[in-house]
Amino acid sequence: MVNTVNMDPTRTYRQGRRAETTGANTERILRAAAELLVERSFEHVTLPAVAELAGVGLQTVIRRIGTKDGLVRAVNDWIVPQISATRGAPDDARPIGDDLTAVTDRLAQHYEQWGRITERTMHQQDASPALKESADAGRRAHREWIEAVFAADLDPLPPAARDDLAGRLAAVCGVELWLVLRRDQNLSVAATRAAVADLASACRHRALTRGNLTRPGDRHDALPRPLFDLHRGASEGLRCD
């Protein structure tokens, strides 16, 4: 004989509604905290301020988050998957020869939405252990993304040259340069994308010519003339000191 439990439909409905309310409150808290972390220095971001902006009680924030470091970690856990989705998988951003459109398209999507909070986290990393954790994790994720996107350029190089090129590309494609061009120099998104692409291309071609390397599908006549002459000389056994 099978025993069955008769569930009260009204009770199930109430539980579902409570879960929805809890989730909605948490979302409001995280959105409010992210907004304040961009607008204010860390010392001026308080749990009561977060509660007021989110439209919830202070005890609700304390139950969900706990402390200010807990708040930062919760915001980071909430934002990181969204950043990953915005930036996309490295396979979707790989250069096609000298065409860096896919790379700069992903960077634009990433930094236009998340650039300011990324910058604020890096600049305030000494104010909180949780901010330092977030900043370090962001740097690692950026470097790993760059190494995956530009693997065809990096993998043939010896370790020192590989590390040099990866570092240059990480800097050129970093949030700091993007925001300098967009905010300080007042460039459009299209102009910023073009500038980043030009600088990344220069780094790639420098490594290519110094190492006498070619990438699959490269055409020598696609290089700027001085780089083409230098690369041709290297391939013909000439000294290019």
Q: Which tens digit of pLDDT belongs to each residue from 95-131?
A: 999 999 999 999 999 999 999 999 999 999 999 999 9
Calculate mean pLDDT across residues 149-168. 95
- 238: which 2 tokens? 């000439």
The predicted structure's pLDDT at residue 145: 97
* Entry pTM: 0.75
Greater model confidence, 192 or 226: 192
The CATH number of 23-66, from 1.10.3720.10, 2.40.30.10, 1.10.10.60, 3.30.420.10, is 1.10.10.60
Flag whether pLDDT at 200 surpasses 70: yes
The predicted structure's pLDDT at residue 168: 97
Give the residue among 141, 31, 171 at the shortest CA–CA distance from 80.
141
Calculate mean pLDDT across residues 181-200. 97
**DSSP single-letter state for residue 15:** H
Q: List alpha helices for the chain, DSSP H.
A: 9-39, 47-54, 58-64, 68-87, 101-123, 129-149, 151-154, 159-172, 175-179, 189-210, 225-235
Flag whether pLDDT at 18 surpasses 80: no
The predicted structure's pLDDT at residue 9: 55
Flag whether pLDDT at 54 surpasses 60: yes
Q: What are 73-105's pLDDT values in tens digits?
A: 999 999 999 998 988 899 989 999 999 999 999
The predicted structure's pLDDT at residue 73: 95
The predicted structure's pLDDT at residue 11: 52
Calculate mean pLDDT across residues 2-20. 49
Task: Spell out the domain ranges in the chain.
Answer: 23-66, 80-213
User: Left if phi > 0, otherwise alpha if psi is -120 to 50, otherwise beta: which for 174?
Assistant: beta
How much is the mean pLDDT over the chain? 83
Calculate mean pLDDT across residues 143-155. 96
The predicted structure's pLDDT at residue 88: 87
The predicted structure's pLDDT at residue 194: 97
